[in-house]
Amino acid sequence: MTNQESERIVSGPPHKSDITAGCGSLGSFVRSKLLQNGSDIALIDGVYGTETTYMELLEQGARVAECLRRDVGIRSGDVIGLVSENRLEFPTILVGSFLLGATVAPINLTYSEREFVHAFNLSRPRIVFLSAFAADRVVAAAHQCTSFIERLVLFGDENLCEDASASVPYTLMEQFVAPVSFVNPLAMDIVPTNVQEHVALIMCSSGTTGLPKGVQLTQANVMASVALTEESNSLTETEDPMVVLCVLPWFHAFGCLSLINVLCIKERMVALPKFEDFLYLGCIETYRCNTLLSVPPIVLFLAKHPLVDSYDLTSVRTIICGAAPLSRETEELVLQRLPHVQHIRQGYGMSELTLATLIQSGEDHKPGSVGRVQIGTQVKVVDPTTGKSLGPNERGELCFRGTQVMKGYIGDEQATRYTIDTEGWLHSGDVGYYDEDGEFFVVDRLKELIKYKGYQVPPAEIEAVLLTHPAVLDAAVIGVPDEAAGELPLAFVVRQPNDAGAAVSETEIVKFVADRASAAKRLHGGVRFIDAIPKNLSGKVLRRELRELVSGENRRAKL
């Protein structure tokens, strides 16, 4: 690397202290943090009002750990699957797994059976904890993965799938933990690990080439995220103790790491399994939430929905918005409507970077900025063609190096090498730049992911489903802008030149995809029939031309 290239690396400050806090594993790290926080309330179930303290969470986690060790034989390095909405059992499984040194694989509970099979084959869990919401699909998928899944454990008190006992033993959570009444977490012998290599979490992250990849986050990655949040907590300081309202799904990296961070830095989290307007606003009012972990559609709701005026939201001081860009116009509308809100913080992150590595700080961030580089991270902007480092206000691919960069994609060395180069730089696939003040702006994506309500939707996966329809000759999918959702998946379809092709309708194709894909991957933007999909000489779909086609139609419609 030349001197000029070195000078073009933008670095965040170093960590102020040892990110491990002197602990030899993530399990001992989490135990230390929960013990330190003690009898204070850690989590509140916003639906039922159930509360749990840090100490209760630790004791429940220790009990789960002992059951996993004794009855299933789970050891350090084994994988535990977790398919659930936000509910208090979720962090209990996380804590119990970390105490054992096991790896947790949180999986999107809206997945279809096909997607569950793929996710299970990536992480290969020995046991899967699940909620009733996903029970039928998880059981069907587990039946196809009996070579490694040994047991299913259902949260709740109703066995919905007794027929599963023939292939994979199926137990209720209450029955699973019944043999162990109490375990003293202080007496547990927690095995030290190599925190830089030992995988703590396997998160599903969609790419543009098809089904999700398994992102391996190490124990050190998680500890670095906690340290970053702790050291930069002054960005969201309040006079009162922080009370965070979270509706972000905990199976998503943003939600899962936020949950772990809150537990480790003594904040209080009010959790909801999904967004419901009355319940969401009611939780803010009842629990005096002062910090909202949010995504753009919820911020838009706060800005425009008439129901907001019926609730007392004066406790809210900070809104942290991620997963997709938030428009300046929406931000200004919220600040006008909720003048007591002091900060709306945007950031940039991805599953492969554990959590956000670029965050707005202070009072001086510019419109459209995603902030400055954070603790323990370096960023450079490179020309995607030449690999040359670029300077201020020059657009190129954002590349990251530091303590939050993933270990790699599980079982996919080729994709790992493609994403992380030999010098440790993670190539994000996103196009952006930084200005003279070190503020970063994301302007486009090299990757073609569609951002639907904060979810990353790979067009290639929907295209693969479309191409299985007998009436479809060719297909391409793009995201079209939508104020509420961010982007909506829209399919361009070339019909087969036969009777089946002539007869197929938009409604039929939309239903065909809906029957085979999870909610985020359905054709919410509809279907357009077209004579041919524009492609370059190598066969790559020219999505930009399709987006221009939609833009042109929209412009003509307004005339």
Sheet holding 79-83, edge to edge: 170-172, 151-154, 127-130, 79-83, 103-106, 199-205, 213-218, 408-409
More confident site: 559 or 379? 379
Q: Which residues contact 82 (CB under 8 A, 6 or more apart)?
A: 90, 93, 94, 104, 105, 106, 107, 128, 129, 130, 251
Identify the band that residue 165 occupies on the pLDDT scale cut at 50, 70 and 90: very low
The per-residue pLDDT for 34 is 96
Q: Is the pLDDT of residue 213 over 70?
A: yes
Q: Is the pLDDT of residue 235 over 60?
A: no
Task: Give the pairing type, strands 79-83 and 170-172.
Answer: unpaired
CA distance linking residue 47 with residue 272, whole number of Å: 7
Q: What pLDDT, in 10s, does the model give residues 459-496? A: 878 988 898 898 998 899 999 999 889 899 999 999 98
Section 255-275 average pLDDT: 93
Identify the band that residue 156 occupies on the pLDDT scale cut at 50, 70 and 90: confident
CA distance linking residue 178 with residue 156, whole number of Å: 14
Q: What pLDDT, in 10s, does the model give residues 316-352? A: 999 998 877 777 777 888 999 999 998 888 888 889 9
Per the prediction, the chain carries an average pLDDT of 89
Q: Is the pLDDT of residue 538 over 60?
A: no
CA distance linking residue 359 with residue 439, whole number of Å: 9
More confident site: 259 or 460? 259
Beta strands of 242-387 (E only): which ranges? 243-246, 268-271, 291-294, 318-321, 343-349, 356-359, 372-373, 377-382
200: number of Cβ within 10 Å = 28
Q: What pLDDT, in 10s, does the model give residues 352-404? A: 999 888 988 766 777 778 889 999 999 999 998 888 999 999 988 999 999 99
Selection from 491, 500, 490, 497 nearest residue 470 by Cα: 500
Identify the band that residue 137 occupies on the pLDDT scale cut at 50, 70 and 90: very high
**Residue recorded with tokens 């965070």:** 244
236 touches 268 (CB < 8 A): no
Q: What domains are defined for the chain?
A: 26-219 (3.40.50.12780), 456-557 (3.30.300.30)
The per-residue pLDDT for 139 is 93
Of 38-42, 78-82, 241-245, 447-451, the least confident: 447-451
Q: What percent of the chain has pLDDT over 70?
A: 92
Q: Is the pLDDT of residue 553 over 80?
A: no
224 touches 376 (CB < 8 A): yes
Of 163-177, 233-247, 492-506, 512-526, the least confident: 233-247
Q: Which residues contact 439 (CB under 8 A, 6 or more apart)?
A: 365, 366, 369, 371, 372
Burial 420-440 (b: 16+ CB within 10 A, else e): beeeebbbbbbbbbbeeeebb
What's the pTM value of the predicted model, to 2 decimals?
A: 0.85
CA distance linking residue 492 with residue 520, whole number of Å: 18
Q: Is the pLDDT of residue 441 over 60?
A: yes
The per-residue pLDDT for 210 is 62
From the CA atom positions of the chain, what is the Rg in Å? 24
DSSP character at residue 13 = P
